[in-house]
Copies of this chain bind each other. A is one copy, B any other.
């Protein structure tokens, strides 16, 4: 049986108020008593009950985090950043997996609400009207990580997807590539789809290159197998392309696998640039050149922002844009170049 503050009070022969003060405002209690209390605490291995505390303070120092798929490297790195920020600020994270399932999400949100989380972070998933309704019922602030809501005024932290995609394409173009394909998420995917496609196309158009989506883009989920098939189709319909922009590192790895299997040399014959810069990017062969999202920072900053909102502090901007960058490794080279 865990010791309670009563037990400590009894053992130290003081009132429970005094024990409480020793814990929360030690200077208020006279030294002799304080020491007796401290001894009693040690002897009973007492630790205060956070439930009771939370009940009074109306604060649990616990945040909820929803992921569509935690087993994805992308999210684990975001999570790592969140966990650090939470630890540094004395908060804990309850992690839930939504599986992209609206009913499951609803159930989770209900429980988290009951558990009195101080704030919630939603990761990657688009905010549909349904979500918005559920969020609105919540009694706590919400931050979106690696996604944002154009329609509702919800705080968010993410990169500028369109610009990042533009930069990826522009980078390839700068190296001299003129026939560039893309493996993309579905066009209606508000993160890895739409904006990245627009950025990609815009870059091609700005440089007067072939930019017909029918020809130079293939779509598929982020899953390796789907991306592999997408690469296969893309290569079939655009055989003379010299570079591929894969909207996600997992897609890039699938492209690389396809090229290897068809004995097409990377980057000599075809360059591949990825997106995300997950840890896998440095572990494949050739090492992947990719558009880096600061995944850890996105996680870290979402928690920081959420904490601000919880504390009623001002946040400078509702939608935080974090910088992306291109990490040059070995999967991209100028077209036709021997290495």
Contact = CB atoms under 8 A, between A and B. Distances in A.
A257 interface: yes
A236 interface: no
Contacts of A285: 256-257, 260-261, 284-285
A71 B283 contact: no
Q: Within the oligomer, what is the number of copies of this chain?
A: 2
A73 interface: yes
Interface stretch (A52-60, A198-206, A316-324): A52-60
B47 A51 contact: no
A55 B47 contact: no
Interface string A95-116: 1110000001000101111111
A255 to B, nearest CB: 11
Interface of A: 2, 45, 47-52, 54-55, 60, 62, 69-73, 75-77, 79-80, 83-84, 87, 90, 92-97, 104, 108, 110-116, 137, 139, 224, 250, 253-254, 256-257, 260-261, 279-280, 282-287, 296
Contacts of A139: 2
A92 B94 CA distance: 7
Contact of A280 (B62, B256, B283): B283
10 contacts: A50-B115, A60-B115, A71-B73, A71-B77, A73-B279, A94-B95, A224-B279, A253-B283, A256-B285, A257-B283
Nearest to A3: B139
Contact of A113 (B47, B112, B282): B47
Given A76-B76, A256-B285, A51 B54 contact: yes
Nearest to A45: B137
Contacts of A115: 50-51, 60, 62, 92
Given A87-B97, A93-B95, A137-B45, A71 B60 contact: no
Max chain B Cβ within 10 angstroms of own Cβ: one of A49, A260, A286: A49
B49 A116 contact: yes
Contact of A283 (B94, B97, B224): B224
Contacts of A256: 285
Contacts of A62: 94, 115
Given A2-B139, A55-B55, A92-B94, A116 B50 contact: yes
Max chain B Cβ within 10 angstroms of own Cβ: one of A60, A69, A257: A257
Contacts of A253: 283-284
B96 A70 contact: no
